[in-house]
Amino acid sequence: MRLSYFAALLLSASSFAAHAAEERVASATETFFDKHWPSTIHPQGEPDDALPDVEKSLAPESCRICHLQQYQDWQTSMHSRSMSPGIVGQLVEMVTDDPATARLCWSCHAPLAEQQDLTYSTADGWQDNPEFDSQLQKHGMMCASCHVRNRQYYGPPRRSSPNTTGRIEELLPHGSFVAEVGFTKSEFCRGCHQFARDDYALNGKLLENTYAEWAASEYADNGTQCQDCHMPDRRHLWRGIHDADMVRSGITISVSPVPENHLPGQLVDATISIENSGVGHKFPTYITPKVFVRGRLLTEMGEQIDSSLQEYVIGWESYDLAVEAYDTRLSPGQQIEISYRYPLPDEGTKLQIEVVVDPDHWYRRFYQNILNSGGGGAGREMLAEALALSQRSSFSIYEQVFALVKPKGDNPSQ
């Protein structure tokens, strides 16, 4: 049945109004991002004297009293370790030698003014920060980094009333809070996970480009936000490349069937298929991790035959941050096939395929180079600690052993 002219007109007006409302929300949300994540976050100021001491504090331990689950999640996250020994070790002398770069590092790793050693005055240059709290700095990306501005508390709308935004005046521990839908949008993460056009780049590619990679993917098209994967059910986990289960959930790995009737000298021919089936940006997104796909032959006793090792690396590499060595990262939905071919030696009976994630591969080489050259200065001890941590961060996400030769006596005719 055809719609009448007036019914069609009403539908068109309704659609226009809905679209206009969406644009107003989007505009208001973008304004919120600009205010919430300026280039420099100003000091929070003095708290209300009427508040109890626990509410005057910016420390995450104070938040724990009422937000235990969020605090416990945060403790296990990389956000809680954003001021890691590797960062701190570099900053020790950078604060004096290159304060502008130090401030740039702090802007993501310890973004509140109270976490930063220095302030900047156009008249007098760099000065010690009278608001600086060394304990707050150690907490890195902490609760207040996202949820407190000018002693006002911010967060996403309640799930029971997702369209209710703005100041919520209720009898709450903080007196009130400001509900902002922006907390549920990928743009909230953009400030720390996306470089600007004129920031550090390699071969024309920004060193941090995660938000743009997501924005160009089908995940953005279907409304899947960063928080949907990295903060499921609003958990403050932020799992990523350092978490084996998170990596496995985003990657599909398969190996072509390998027959068990090989004879010595015959070619072992296997195909390893790897698909970025569930990561909403490139896998991996940064230059620091590497993913090693390894195939090797084993003896009947399970001993590795070293000469048979073949390796393919998924990642982005530069040895000096000036020249790109390779970029084999997988875009969302991209699949690659890696071939393993090797003639079976007399002692070979099995094929082992393994996929190992090394999340700190680039950093480990970086720390080693500094320490081996005698560098590091006052931060040398921290860099040595960072190196030790990076040496323990690798993990396997896939390992299978395929028989190439039937065990002796395994003959159905016998």
* Per-residue pLDDT tens digits for 296-335: 999 999 999 999 999 999 999 999 999 999 999 999 999 9
333 falls within a domain: yes
CA 142 to the chain's CA centroid: 16
| Pairwise CA distance, residues 117 & 133, whole Å | 8
The pLDDT score that the predictor gives to residue 163 is 84
List the one residue out of 269, 275, 358, 271 whose CA is nearest residue 313: 358
391 falls within a domain: yes
The alpha-helical segments, DSSP class H, found in 125-217 are: 134-138, 143-147, 187-193, 210-215
The pLDDT score that the predictor gives to residue 317 is 98
206 falls within a domain: no
137 falls within a domain: no
Query: Strand 152-155 and strand 176-179: pairing?
Result: parallel
| Pairwise CA distance, residues 81 & 84, whole Å | 5
The pLDDT score that the predictor gives to residue 157 is 94
The three-class DSSP label of residue 289 is coil
Tell me, what DSSP letter sits at residue 21?
H
Question: Beta strands of 185-330 (E only): which ranges?
Answer: 201-202, 205-206, 251-255, 267-276, 290-299, 304-317, 326-327
Kindly give the parts of the chain with pLDDT less than 70.
1-26, 122, 171, 409-414
56 falls within a domain: no
| Pairwise CA distance, residues 273 & 335, whole Å | 7
Number of domains in the chain: 1
270 falls within a domain: yes
375 falls within a domain: yes
135 falls within a domain: no
Joined together, the tokens standing for residue 343 give 């003639």
Contact, 88 vs 66, CB < 8 A?
no
Query: Strand 335-343 and strand 326-327: pairing?
Result: unpaired
Supply the CATH number for residue 250's domain: 2.60.40.10
Joined together, the tokens standing for residue 39 give 């280039």
Domain of residue 279 covers: 244-403
The three-class DSSP label of residue 41 is coil
* Per-residue pLDDT tens digits for 36-51: 999 889 999 999 888 8
Q: Give, in degrees to the nearest 5, the angle at Cα 199 between 181 and 102.
A: 85
Helix axes 380-390, 85-97, angle to 10 degrees: 150
| Pairwise CA distance, residues 185 & 110, whole Å | 21
The pLDDT score that the predictor gives to residue 351 is 98
List the one residue out of 405, 272, 279, 280 whose CA is nearest residue 346: 405
The alpha-helical segments, DSSP class H, found in 225-321 are: 226-230, 244-250
